[in-house]
Amino acid sequence: MAGQGLAAGFLQVPAVTRAYTAACVLTTAAVQLELLSPFQLYFNPHLVFRKFQVWRLITTFLFFGPLGFGFFFNMLFVFRYCRMLEEGSFRGRKADFVFMFLFGGVLMTLLGFLGSLFFLGQALMAMLVYVWSRRSPHVRVNFFGLLNFQAPFLPWALMGFSMLLGNSVLTDLLGIIVGHIYYFLEDVFPNQPGGKRLLLTPNFLKLLLDDPQEDPNYLPLPEEQPEP
């Protein structure tokens, strides 16, 4: 019964959050069961463009390391803040949310290559946290019951905590930088004098992912109209 309740609760999670979290968990489980090796997942431009192992462009964002405290810590924050974004500022805008993932993923891949970063899931998590924190500036955050502060300080607190775990600061910093670029282009620059939206979600994504909007001028057929 508990398993059924957990499964039912997971199905109520927004689609993008559910899909990304499940992909991360399944990838880590496959590595743990030795069905996959981390060497098959990391980003390597030579193998991507010379050997056509294009899946590495995706799997680099799905592997957060072996099962352990670090993995569960990252999954907790990925699930929580990805869900709050999808249910909050991106509510009813699934295509825009997916486009944010694509924009962030492309930019992180390019910058990560310059910084010799091979696994970028933690950077994507940092980007999600950063965007949420800037769109929720007045929310008070309780950090593991130890610290209380305003949401915009959360990405930096996470980076400090990541340092304590022995992780690379560059990965978190990359996510913060990309998150700030997205936030500036999407939320700041369009509201400046002479500014405009530069990040436009492609129409094919909207047709594929967003629910069709009803035409306000549509008149239903007589047989479809409710009886008085």
Q: How many domains does the chain have?
A: 1
> Tokens representing 81?
């803040």
Residue 191 in any domain: the answer is yes
Per-residue model confidence (pLDDT) at position 210: 81
**Distance separating alpha carbons of residues 178 and 16, to the nearest angstrom:** 20
Per-residue model confidence (pLDDT) at position 9: 57
Residue 131 in any domain: the answer is yes
Residue 222 in any domain: the answer is no
Whole-model pTM: value is 0.87
Per-residue model confidence (pLDDT) at position 214: 54
Range of the domain at 20: 12-209
Residue 40 in any domain: the answer is yes
**Distance separating alpha carbons of residues 56 and 131, to the nearest angstrom:** 25
CB-based contacts of 203: which residues, under 8 Å, 6+ apart?
Answer: none
pLDDT in tens, the chain (228 residues): 545 555 555 667 889 999 999 999 999 999 999 999 999 999 999 999 899 999 999 999 999 988 888 889 889 999 999 999 999 999 989 999 999 999 999 999 999 888 888 999 999 999 999 999 999 998 898 877 777 889 999 999 989 888 887 777 899 999 999 999 999 999 999 988 888 888 999 999 999 988 766 555 555 555 445 554
User: What is the domain-level CATH number for residue 161?
Assistant: 1.20.1540.10
Residue 5 in any domain: the answer is no
